[in-house]
Amino acid sequence: MTPTPPSEREAQARLIILLTVRAMGVIAMLVGLGVWLGGYQGHGGLGTAAFLLGAFCSFLLPALLARLWRSPKP
């Protein structure tokens, strides 16, 4: 039994999720960079962590989700 390909609605929902995850990652990177380099006393580690988490969400997580949602080859 082969799975059916996703419907148009599912494909649109997946695209929205991918774009939202990527945008939130970029926002987290910018906030983390601002905290990291902004000179906030004692919060440099928090800025670094936010930047790295944002980089993961922006670059790696969309690729992992796309691989998870990829249709199997017939």
Give me the percent of the chain exceeding a pLDDT of 70: 88
pTM score? 0.78
What pLDDT digit, counting tens, does each position of 5-34 carry? 678 888 899 899 999 999 999 999 999 888
Could you please report the per-residue DSSP string of 38-55? TT-TT-HHHHHHHHHHHH
Could you please report the per-residue DSSP string of 11-42? HHHHHHHHHHHHHHHHHHHHHHHHHHHTT-TT
